[in-house]
Structure 1
Amino acid sequence: MPQETTDEPGVTRPRITPLDIVRTLVLVVALATLGLWGFGSWTMPWNIVIGIGAPVVVLLVWALFLSPRPVLHVHPFLRALVELLIYVGVTLAWWSMGSAWAGIAFAVVAVTSGLLAGRRALT
């Protein structure tokens, strides 16, 4: 027998928007791209170090500055700069793997979602 779900008073749940889903997908694609770049573009043993290290560093930077509950609260423009540096790194990784169009497509989607999220955060 299914139970009814009722909202408890005083409990607010975050609303997940399509923009939040796109930004999550951008982060997942960025991490996967850096892993692919690290394992595929470097020789042994550096491919293991870079293939694991690059996504871990980006994930740590994201957790420190860009997550919904960041560890370090910084000015919104510094936050945007950190986000752009991650996007530039991923775009350059695509270019170095010989997929310039994939890099450009990633950059357009990532920067557009970042601009929309930044505008939403400022209002």
Structure 2
Amino acid sequence: MRDAPRSPVDPGDDPVPASASTPRRPADVWTVIRFLVCAFGLLSLAYWGYLAWPYPFPAVFFIVGAPLFAAVVWYLFRSPRSPIETDVVGKTVVETALVVAAGATWISLGHPVVGLVFVVVAAVSGVVAFRRETA
């Protein structure tokens, strides 16, 4: 079949998809610690909502609402893929507020050691993450 229609693009000229050309960065110790700090912070807010409020109505609102609010604020202002461009100072303010809120939940529940250890670990992982982002 000599007169078969041909594609205007040669098969060798196909562009490579962006996801295939950018390999994923392997997870190191600091990335895992950072993930655990974020997960523990969200769980702390949910646990605070469970223990600090009477169960049926207000507790359910705070169990779901507090971590959801923190996750949305983190995504909008601190996430590497955030839709709102924020400078370094704004990112630091948002992250500090979220870490202090999660640490304050443990202090308000009567476990100040857990809150302080969480704040210190989150601060160290935040400094490491900041140094990596700006390097």
State the distance in 1 between where 2:37 and 2:67 align. 13
Q: Which residue does the alignment assign to 2:133?
A: 121
State the distance in 2 between where 1:86 and 1:11 align. 31
- 1:41-68 per-position Cα deviation (integer Å, ceiling 9, x unaligned): 1113211111110000011111112223
Q: Which residue does the alignment assign to 2:23?
A: 12
State the distance in 2 between where 1:103 and 1:82 align. 18
Instruction: Tell me if 1:81 matches 2:99.
Output: no
Which of 94, 97, 103 is the matching residue for 1:91? 103
Gaps of 5+ in 2: 1-19
Q: 1:16 to 1:73 in 2, by over 3 A?
A: farther
Q: Matched residues, percent identical? A: 30
Instruction: Tell me if 1:47 matches 2:59.
Output: yes
Give aligned pairs, total.
116
TM-score by length of 2: 0.80
Give the structure with higher Rg (CA). Answer: 2
Gaps of 5+ in 1: 1-8
